Structure 1
């Protein structure tokens, strides 16, 4: 269950491979913290600038809120570029980013980026970021205009700061929270989701965690545990065209070089494929992967820098963990989501969990816990 008491995919009996961490969340990677601001107010019909408001902000710190400027080695991948992730060029150039990642709706992405830069400058620590106090924050978006008055620009500076300052470790809420509040997935209600996997290697244990803001996919393509669930659940109403996207953030405590993290970011797309995603023409499918290892090396800007990174022979095991984590995070974003009524009474229906369970039983694809 989520902290709000919402059922997750494993709790519903979906048979998922791989061993999760204690919270089955991106926060299982030590140091990573997640914060939300959720805005739900007003009723249809749409009045631009008034509502209905169904949106929010998510903030993810790679090394915790106590070290807001702290950076990490990273890699970026765009599976489909109908979307935005600020700071991606910097990640490609230097193989790193600094400070928290924010995720929100399409028309608030620039504000999230700018507010984060100001928030970081106010907390600048020359010992943490010795090069210079300039910031190119990572801010990403997906479109919630079917449910939210997106052209009303309801996200304000205070909401972004609220998400940044709410960041914590531990269990993470999912579904209709944070930036995922007004999102849809496979023409059901989608939103925020997370999962993790532990990876034994060379006598130690590492963790891979994923966080997604899911807002993509056509109903007939949805697959759960390999079962064509979307074909079994016909649509009960016409839906607005997909204007989707998904943002995927993958974290690990395994030491990886930037080129390895680019490879991890690319594999996140396979996790989407496992659920039936095809990176459609209307979708922006953007992924960032980072490592919390090599902390001291990331902070060093002069002299010879010494880092550790995995031998290439280790990568396939981490690919598996990435794919499994992203797949489960997407499913969690749907299982935990609740039906939402938005713009002009358009309704995004929650995934009908009991019906999904019955379908999985017919395919002999459900665990005993259900």
Structure 2
């Protein structure tokens, strides 16, 4: 199930798969690990696919709350460019996945690896369900996720880096959505991928309907003997577009992510690392910064700043739906020490939406 299967209205016009892979060239791959006490995995997002790793995209980042990690962001801030896969995993596997990306690039693109590599690896904390200190994620899993990356429909919920994650004290994880944006004679796509692991149950809001206060029962995370306060976790969001943008405009897209998250109810927890990255696949061949650059000058074609508003709107809409898709796509999971994360109760949610007058034309 996805959010659009519910009796509610979500704003905007989505692409074919309603996924980040609606942006041409973008690929997503997963490795999911659920053996023994492992409830974790690795997600790979390839901006231009495997064959064009190393070819830069304009990019920018934004941190709403820094209680988390996304490696490689200082170089993105410096150069305005992203040239490697974006990886997402659990908090204690960042170094392992970082090493795995380097190993994969060295094997598949040795010329690129001969210079320097600053992989982008982001994380959210899955220690409620996952044996997070165990050596479950290995470097080869990063390579496997990259090799598994593909276009087309994207699995959601308990997959990849989102395998052991929780959202609003329900099972969360991986979610995605897209929006189409008209610009002059052209139509561009804005795609979003979220690893959703944030929010307190009472905050949960679905398409403008505050349902959390009516769903406070069956919340094991509020009663289980563990240390994290309500709302802890983190959220990583990756925004992709084929619209031609400057690095600063990509950063502006990343800054709009919190507005989409807020539509789902969160106020942003101190114990949540909320870090976002946006990139544009347009202007292929620009923003190179290797030791040998043939051109004396490079050019970037970009949307005028004064016409960016529809792209901001698309980000907010797609982020909201990606989080809801993570929730509706996830299934109940039992993890380490018998910890249980219940799935969003779809039947009860539909009843609440009906009571609140949800349906066509409502918001």
Alignment-derived partner of residue 128 in structure 2: 146
What CA distance in whole angstroms lies between the structure 2 residues aligned with 1:265 and 1:325? 12
Q: Verify: 1:9 aligned to 2:6, yes or no.
A: no
Q: Which residue of 251, 259, 265 corresponds with 2:248?
A: 259
Q: CA deviation at 1:161?
A: 1.3
Q: Verify: 1:320 aligned to 2:313, yes or no.
A: yes
Alignment-derived partner of residue 45 in structure 1: none
Equivalences for 1:166-177 in 2 at 5 Å?
Answer: 166-177=148-159
Q: Is the 8 A contact 1:121 1:133 kept in 2?
A: no
Q: CA deviation at 1:15?
A: 1.2
Paired residue total: 350
* Cα shift readout 1:40-70 (whole Å, capped 9, x = no counterpart): 122xxxxxxxxx1100000000001122223
* Cα shift readout 1:234-262 (whole Å, capped 9, x = no counterpart): 13244153430000000000000011111
What CA distance in whole angstroms lies between the structure 2 residues aligned with 1:258 and 1:237? 42
Alignment-derived partner of residue 21 in structure 2: 27
Q: CA deviation at 1:223?
A: 0.4
Alignment-derived partner of residue 50 in structure 2: 65
Q: Is the 8 A contact 2:99 2:139 kept in 1?
A: no
Runs (5+) with no aligned partner, structure 2? none
Normalising by structure 2, we get a TM-score of 0.93
Q: Is the 8 A contact 1:35 1:58 kept in 2?
A: yes
Q: Which residue of 339, 343, 346 corresponds with 2:332?
A: 339
Q: Is the 8 A contact 1:98 1:135 kept in 2?
A: no
Q: CA deviation at 1:123?
A: 2.5
Q: Verify: 1:213 aligned to 2:207, yes or no.
A: no
Equivalences for 1:264-283 in 2 at 5 Å?
Answer: 264-283=253-272
Q: Verify: 1:366 aligned to 2:359, yes or no.
A: yes
Normalising by structure 1, we get a TM-score of 0.92
Equivalences for 1:1-370 in 2 at 5 Å?
Answer: 7-42=1-36, 52-124=37-109, 126=111, 133-239=115-221, 240=226, 241-242=229-230, 243-299=232-288, 301=293, 302-367=295-360
- Residue 268 of structure 2 aligns to a residue whose secondary structure is coil
Runs (5+) with no aligned partner, structure 1? 1-6, 43-51
What CA distance in whole angstroms lies between the structure 2 residues aligned with 1:155 and 1:348? 21
What CA distance in whole angstroms lies between the structure 1 residues aligned with 2:6 and 2:51? 36
Moved more, 153-162 or 195-204: 153-162
Q: CA deviation at 1:110?
A: 1.4
What CA distance in whole angstroms lies between the structure 2 residues aligned with 1:367 and 1:108? 43
Q: Is the 8 A contact 2:328 2:346 kept in 1?
A: yes
RMSD value, Cα: 1.5
- Residue 139 of structure 1 aligns to a residue whose secondary structure is strand
What CA distance in whole angstroms lies between the structure 1 residues aligned with 2:208 and 2:279? 28
Moved more, 318-327 or 68-77: 68-77
What CA distance in whole angstroms lies between the structure 1 residues aligned with 2:123 and 2:325? 19
